[in-house]
């Protein structure tokens, strides 16, 4: 029997090397007045940006550039909206990593609204977003978050009283997602590794989630195959366009999966740790993934959860390239693979990344993992953090 499920809508997707060349032609469906959101400088100084802006001029587009230097805060979004003021805007385009896409999504949702974005954040605000927005096109330049296909924008305040909360509404899904793997070719190795581990974690946690369904499982498996083929390769061969394309596909599928199946313990930690310290989201995911899955398996065996263990067995077959083997061999082999992977792509421990062991109790208190395949105690959550501290 198939258990009940829902599946969220996704954008119109354009996936192809060089497909960004078609972006100027798409803008005409919306109008001439654009807001283009980018990161600090990496895209702006690229050859692709020069050609894009030249082609936008040819279609008589007029645009305002907004730069987002890091994870978007309420102040960044509010300031961007105030900068635009009452100007007519027909289309918002975000070109960058996950933080830039989240910022563009939030700006498109907050234009012409008098309130701060903070008023509409889950568990932080007092109002429900009405779902009205300016049309939005998402163009990722990293392969990680999958924000190009989701309905939420993560807004952060980092520090002792920090938070990571979502601005969320079904209507905030981008109209179009343009996935051009060539845009990821200049992504530095450390960002490639961290983004890739975020993507790997999202696919794994969605696949194992208590909310998974046949559609998300099928997508997660295809994304995980791309991870197996290309994550390590793309970290070592950044100019390998085949590997870049596979990682772009994996990130795309991970976004669809997380939007429909939810995530687990690692992403629960990523939110609570990332709200307190200025540590890249993907780095936290990659650092904790091995220990968290190790604890999952230990408890699933204790509970004799055959269904979840079968999924871990499949992951073992996939990542060990084995068609046969005992359940324990395949499952333990997958966990060992995760530990080896974090070393191979040189992910630091939490201490090196900037976390402080004295804050672990508070971090655990603020960590949600309701979709994890097994409930972990606070003592077990502490064990995960301690195991990956150094």
pLDDT, tens digit only, all 390 positions of the chain: 788 999 999 999 999 999 999 999 999 999 999 999 999 888 988 999 999 999 999 999 999 999 999 999 999 999 999 999 989 999 999 999 999 999 999 999 999 999 999 999 998 889 999 999 999 999 999 999 999 999 999 999 999 999 999 999 999 999 999 999 999 999 999 999 999 999 999 999 999 999 999 999 999 999 999 999 999 999 999 999 999 999 999 999 999 999 999 999 999 999 999 999 999 999 999 999 999 999 999 999 999 999 999 999 999 999 999 989 999 999 999 999 999 999 999 999 999 999 999 999 999 999 999 999 999 999 999 999 999 998
Q: In Å, how far from its chain's centre is CA 135?
A: 21
Q: Which two tokens stand for residue 135?
A: 């049309």
The helix-helix angle for 265-276 and 378-387 (nearest 10°) equals 70
pLDDT at 41: 80
Q: Which two tokens stand for residue 215?
A: 């559609």
pLDDT at 42: 83
Domains and CATH numbers, the chain: 12-184 (3.40.50.1970), 189-387 (1.20.1090.10)
Sign of CA dihedral 45, 47, 52, 54: positive
Q: In Å, how far from its chain's centre is CA 278?
A: 17
Q: Which two tokens stand for residue 318?
A: 């996939």
pLDDT at 379: 97
* Nearest one of 241, 245, 243, 223 to 233, comparing CA atoms: 243
- From CA 301, how far away is CA 15, in angstroms rounded? 40
pLDDT at 390: 87
* Nearest one of 101, 97, 103 to 75, comparing CA atoms: 103
- Which residues, in sequence order, are bridge partners of residue 65? 36
pLDDT at 3: 85
- From CA 112, how far away is CA 89, in angstroms rounded? 10
Q: Strand pairing of 62-67 and 91-96?
A: unpaired
Q: Which two tokens stand for residue 11?
A: 């954008």
Residues 6+ apart with CB under 8 A from 134: 35, 89, 90, 91, 92, 108, 111
Helices (H), the chain: 23-27, 47-58, 74-84, 98-110, 189-208, 214-236, 241-261, 265-276, 281-303, 306-320, 327-344, 350-353, 360-365, 378-387
- From CA 219, how far away is CA 222, in angstroms rounded? 5
- From CA 168, how far away is CA 244, in angstroms rounded? 29
């Amino acid at each position: 029997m198939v258990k009940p499920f829902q599946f969220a809508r996704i954008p119109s997707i354009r996936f192809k090397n060089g497909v960004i060349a078609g972006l100027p032609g798409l803008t005409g469906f919306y109008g001439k007045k654009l807001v283009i959101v980018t990161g600090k400088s990496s895209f702006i100084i690229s050859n692709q940006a020069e050609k894009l802006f030249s082609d936008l001029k040819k279609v008589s587009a007029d645009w305002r550039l907004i730069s987002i230097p890091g994870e978007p805060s309420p102040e960044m979004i509010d300031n961007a909206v105030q900068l635009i003021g009452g100007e007519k805007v027909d289309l918002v385009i975000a070109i960058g990593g996950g933080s830039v896409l989240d910022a563009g999504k939030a700006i498109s949702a907050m234009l012409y609204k008098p309130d701060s974005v903070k008023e509409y954040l889950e568990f932080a605000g007092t109002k429900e977003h009405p779902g009205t927005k300016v049309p939005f096109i998402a163009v990722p330049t990293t392969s990680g978050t999958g924000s190009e296909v989701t309905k939420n924008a993560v807004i952060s305040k980092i520090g002792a009283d920090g938070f990571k909360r979502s601005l969320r509404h079904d209507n905030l899904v981008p109209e179009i997602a343009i996935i051009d793997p060539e845009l990821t070719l200049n992504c530095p190795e450390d960002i490639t590794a961290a983004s890739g581990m975020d993507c790997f974690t999202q696919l794994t946690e969605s696949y194992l989630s208590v909310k998974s369904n046949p559609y998300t499982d099928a997508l997660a498996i295809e994304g995980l195959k791309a991870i197996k083929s290309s994550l390590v390769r793309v970290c070592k061969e950044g100019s390998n366009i085949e590997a870049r394309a596979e990682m772009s596909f994996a990130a795309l599928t991970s976004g669809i999966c997380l939007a429909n199946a939810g995530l687990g313990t690692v992403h629960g930690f990523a939110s609570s740790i990332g709200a307190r310290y200025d540590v890249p989201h993907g780095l936290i995911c990659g650092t904790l993934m091995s220990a968290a899955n190790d604890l999952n398996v230990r408890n699933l065996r204790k509970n004799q959860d055959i269904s979840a263990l079968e999924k871990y067995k499949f992951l073992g077959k996939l990542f060990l390239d084995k068609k046969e083997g005992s359940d324990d061999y395949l499952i333990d082999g997958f966990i060992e693979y995760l530990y080896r992977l974090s070393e191979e792509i040189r992910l630091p421990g939490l201490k090196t990344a900037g976390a402080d062991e004295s804050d672990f109790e508070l971090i655990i208190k603020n960590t949600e993992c309701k979709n994890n395949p097994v409930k972990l105690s606070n003592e077990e959550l502490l064990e995960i953090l301690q195991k990956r501290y150094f």
